[in-house]
A and B are shown apart, each in its own frame.
Chain A
């Protein structure tokens, strides 16, 4: 949260997670190279350096695939939320592996001649109008640049200074970068492989990630357009207080595509915006922990009554006026300025509850 910046935000869980990832990456690369040497004992890819380049590339692509799957998986099941919490470290590690792949390939294939290796990368193969001979390295380089920008701006310093909206838009470049990597593989390694196993695995990988994003995207789109809120005298009807699980929320659509998260806690009901200040995470999918609404993505917290983060943090989110009438919870669709204190509606009190 925004109290102060640290170069790397580590805690006990994140350190353990990072150790697991480093171990898994080393194991993956080792197994890939061992299997590669067994299955390709002769030819171009039998060279240990070439095999290492491929191992690093496949590892980076696999890690990026996992990263892209985490978001939709976390929306499908909260069991994947801890992975979301640690996703940023995984992203930076992916960039590190991609940098090793790029650096080794640049040195191995482009540093032995008179040209600057980076110039050689673009100039050595001019077959831009050919499919089988296309300089696929340029596609990988373009994707690498995107990964560099994302890794460089992954810190909360950039998130706060660029705003969540701009930061998110910029980090959506990872999707075109992923597509570039698919073509980097198709026009590169898959042009030389005779086995159908490699293209099939590549296709399944890409289509799985696509299917996850399309399914969750379609679900969100339906949630936006399908859910019709009941309006009574300008207030949105949410439902009965008992419909809201204790210490959790119901998310309700508002006009203009906004969403409100209506929380129940301590026999009270309060409503805040569904978008976290950090990365617009879905607050309504979080829980009330230690009296604070806690974002399921990265654990940012806010008091339910005023949408203010507990000290020493200073973030604020919009609140909504809420009331209970005739056993039904109602929310005023007009948001209050971030940090505005509202009286929670008390469950069990009779009649209209002033807000």
Chain B
């Protein structure tokens, strides 16, 4: 009997690793100069969410 998913496991990481590393780095480079949490903005009246950034 063959151990299934051996090749799928390897291929998955082969795809996920560069994709994640490149995208995460690119996204991080786009972070705002002033983080949202530091901006003196009011919480929207249309939302019940407190800004969690």
Contacts and interface: CB of A to CB of B under 8 A. Distances in A.
Chain A at the B interface: SS class: helix
Contacts, number: 141
A191 B31 contact: yes
A217 B50 CA distance: 43
Nearest to A53: B52
A258 B1 contact: yes
Chain A: number of interface residues, binned into ranges: 35 or more
Interface string B1-28: 1111111111011101100110111011
A237 interface: no
Contact of B14 (A124, A188, A214): A214
B13 A192 contact: no
Interface of A: 43-45, 105, 108-115, 120-121, 123-125, 131-133, 136-137, 164-165, 168-169, 172, 175-176, 179, 182-183, 186-188, 190-194, 199, 202-203, 206-207, 210, 213-214, 217-218, 220-221, 224, 256-259, 273-275, 280, 282, 317-318, 335
A6 B8 CA distance: 32
Contacts of A164: 4
B53 A133 contact: yes
A199 B28 contact: yes
Nearest to A199: B28
B47 A187 contact: no
Contacts of B42: none
A182 B19 CA distance: 12
B3 A280 contact: yes
Contacts of B16: 175-176, 179, 210
A115 B53 contact: no
B4 A280 contact: yes
A160 B20 CA distance: 34
A105 B9 contact: no
Interface of B: 1-10, 12-14, 16-17, 20-21, 23-25, 27-28, 30-32, 35-38, 44, 47-50, 52-53
12 contacts: A110-B48, A124-B49, A131-B30, A137-B52, A176-B16, A183-B27, A188-B53, A191-B36, A206-B20, A220-B10, A275-B3, A335-B1
A165 B4 contact: yes
Contacts of A186: 24, 27-28
Given A186-B28, A218-B10, A220-B10, A105 B52 contact: yes
Contacts of B49: 109-110, 113, 120-121, 124-125
A43 B38 contact: yes
B23 to A, nearest CB: 7
